[in-house]
């Protein structure tokens, strides 16, 4: 999936998620965002005592 790979590349290069080139109703946007999220996982809350 090229869209997911492009999302991963954007995340790894530090670009904001708002740079996604696909319109909101596009399935490519969903793939792009999934790729972005896979490369930039949500960190745990600051109050989590890990």
Q: What is the pLDDT of residue 17?
A: 94
Task: Look up the pTM and report it.
Answer: 0.78
DSSP secondary structure of 24-41: TT-HHHHHHHHHHHHHSP
Q: How many other C-beta atoms can be found within 10 angstroms of the C-beta atom of residue 31?
A: 18
Report the pLDDT value the prediction gives residue 49, as an integer from 0 to 100: 62
Average pLDDT over residues 27-41: 93
Query: Would you give the distance in Å from CA 44 to the centre of its chain?
Result: 17
Q: Any idea what DSSP says for residue 17?
A: G
Structure confidence by residue, pLDDT tens digits, 4-18: 999 999 999 999 999
Torsion angle, alpha carbons of 49, 8, 13, 10, to 10: -120
pLDDT above 60 (res 50): no
The answer, yes or no, to whether residue 38 has pLDDT greater than 60, is yes
- Arithmetic mean of pLDDT, 22-47: 87
């Amino acid at each position: 999936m090229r869209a997911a790979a492009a999302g991963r590349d954007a995340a790894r290069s530090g670009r904001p998620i708002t740079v996604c080139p696909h319109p909101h109703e596009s399935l490519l946007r969903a793939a792009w965002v999934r790729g972005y999220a896979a490369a930039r996982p949500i960190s745990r809350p600051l109050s989590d005592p890990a």
